[in-house]
Every structure is written in C-alpha cells, then in structure tokens.
Structure 1
Amino acid sequence: MITLYKVIVFIHIFSAILGMGPGFILTTVVKSGKNMTELRHSYRLRHKLHIFVMVGGTLLLITGIAMGLLNPSLFRMGWYVTSLILFLAALAIGPLVLSPRSRPVKALLKSHKGEVIPEEYWRLAKVLFRYEYLENLIFIIIIALMILKPF
C-alpha cells in the first residue's frame, strides 16, 4: 500500500528533477547569444525555464518540510537540517543577491540599440553568473546530502 509519506517523497523527487534540472542550465542558455537579438531571445527562454525552477523549488520546500512533519526524526538528522538551511539560504540568494544584479542586465537588454553586445553586458553578466554558480554549488551539495545522508 502506498503511504502518504511515499507520495510526498515521489513528488519531492520529481520536483527536484523538474525544478532543479533547468536551474543548472540557466546560465548556459544565455551564454549562447552571439548578438543582441540572440541574447534577448536567450533571456526570454531563461525566464520561461525559471518558472519551472520556481514551481519546482516551492514544491521541494513544501514536500521537504512535510516529510519532516510526518517523520519528525528527520529534524534530528544533520544531513536533513543542513539541507534545509542550505535550501533556505539558496532561496534567499534569489531576491537578495541575484535580483539586484540582474536588473541592470535586463535594463541594458531593453535599452541597447544595435546588434553588437556591449562590453558593459559582459561585466554585469560575469558578476551575476558568479552568484548563479554559487547557488548551483549549494544545490549540488544539497543533492549530495540527500543521496548520501552522511550524518
């Protein structure tokens, strides 16, 4: 018989695949633009992929906490608590770090005339991507903790 806990684990795993998977390629998608038209298109694609990341991330948090509520012993497991703290930190990076650094990029994409990508974009993108890579590293650590359950 399938228990509620197993259903939540199932949703949690699929949320990770559908939400985190696209998150790992968001930076790669926009690096493919060779001119302003392609770059703008890449950012539109990135925005659509980001919707999967937001929905998947929300479901991950809800199902992760639900598993802890159904199995309170998880709150005494170091890997679970560490994963939860890292996930909340990664969520905070979005509005506190990534959003302020993406606004100038979006403004530049909207206002720039011509097809040549300006040097200013590369400077802004480099800083933005550095934080996105940090967030991806956090998610890789979380995935490793979930699989290995080392402590």
Structure 2
Amino acid sequence: MITFYKILVFIHIFSAILGMGPGFILTTVVKSGKNMTELRHSYRIRHRLHIFVIIGGTLLLLTGVGMGFLNPSLFQMGWYVTSLLLFLAALAIGPLVLSPRSKPVKTLLESHQGEEIPEEYWKLSKILFRFENLENIIFLIIIALMILKPF
C-alpha cells in the first residue's frame, strides 16, 4: 500500500525534475540570441520555461515541508534544515535580486529599435546571469544534500 508520505516523495522528485531542470537552462536559452529578434524570442521561451520553475519550486517547498511535518525527525537532520534554508534563500533571491536586475533588461528589449543587440544589454545581462548562476549553484548544493544526506 502506498502511503501519503511516499506520494509526497514521488511528487517532490517529479517537481525537482520538472521545476528545477528548466531552471538550469534559463540563462543558456537567452545566450543563443544573435540579434534583437532572436533575443526577444529567447526571452519569450525563457518566460514560458520559468512557469515550470515556479510551479515546480512551489511543489518542492510544499512537499518538502509536508514530509517534514509527517516525519518531524527530519527537522533534526542537518542536511534537511540546511536544504530548507538554502531553498528559502534561493526563493528570496528572485524578488530581491533577480527581479530588479531583469526589469532594465525587459525594458531594453521592449524599447530598442533595430536588430543589433546594444552594448548596454551585455552589461545588464552579465550582472543578471551572475546572480542566476549563483542561484543554480545553490540548487546544485541542495540536490547534493538531498542525495548524500551527509549530516
């Protein structure tokens, strides 16, 4: 018989694959644009992929915390608490760091005339991508903690 806990684990793993997987390529998708038309199209694709990241991330948090409530001993495990804190920090990076840095990029994409990608875009995107890469590193650490359970 499948327990509710096993169902949460199943949803948690699928959410990680469907939510975090696309998150790792968001930066790569927009780096492929060679002119403004391609760049705008890349950002539209990125936006669609980001929806999976949001849904998957929400399910990850809900199922992860749910498993903790069903098995309270998890809150005494260092790997679980560390993963949860890192996940919350990564969630906070979105509205506090990424959103303010992505708004000028979006404005530039909407307002720029012509096909040549302006130099300003490269400056803005370099900073944005640096923070996105930091967030990806945090998620890789979380995945490693979930697999290895080192402490």
1:102 maps to which residue? 102
1:82 maps to which residue? 82
Pairing of 1:120-139 with structure 2 (within 5 A)? 120-139=120-139
Instruction: Show CA shifts across 1:64-103 (max 9, x none).
Output: 0000000000000000000000000000000000000000
Structure 1: gaps spanning 5 or more residues: none
> How far 1:120 moved relative to its partner?
0.2
SS at match of 1:150: coil
TM-score by length of 2: 1.00
Q: State the number of aligned residues.
A: 151
Q: Which residue identity is paired with 2:87?
A: F
Say yes or no: does 1:115 pair with 2:125. no
Q: Distance in 2 between matches of 1:4 and 1:128?
A: 40
SS at match of 1:68: helix
Q: Distance in 1 between matches of 2:11 and 2:70?
A: 15
TM-score by length of 1: 1.00
What is the percentage of aligned positions where both structures have the same residue?
A: 83
SS at match of 1:93: helix
2:148 maps to which residue? 148
Say yes or no: does 1:92 pair with 2:96. no
2:50 maps to which residue? 50
Q: Distance in 1 between matches of 2:119 and 2:146?
A: 41
Q: Which residue identity is paired with 1:25?
A: I
Q: Distance in 2 between matches of 1:57 and 1:12?
A: 10
Q: Distance in 2 between matches of 1:11 and 1:52?
A: 14
Instruction: Show CA shifts across 1:21-49 (max 9, x none).
Output: 00000000000000000000000000000
Structure 2: gaps spanning 5 or more residues: none
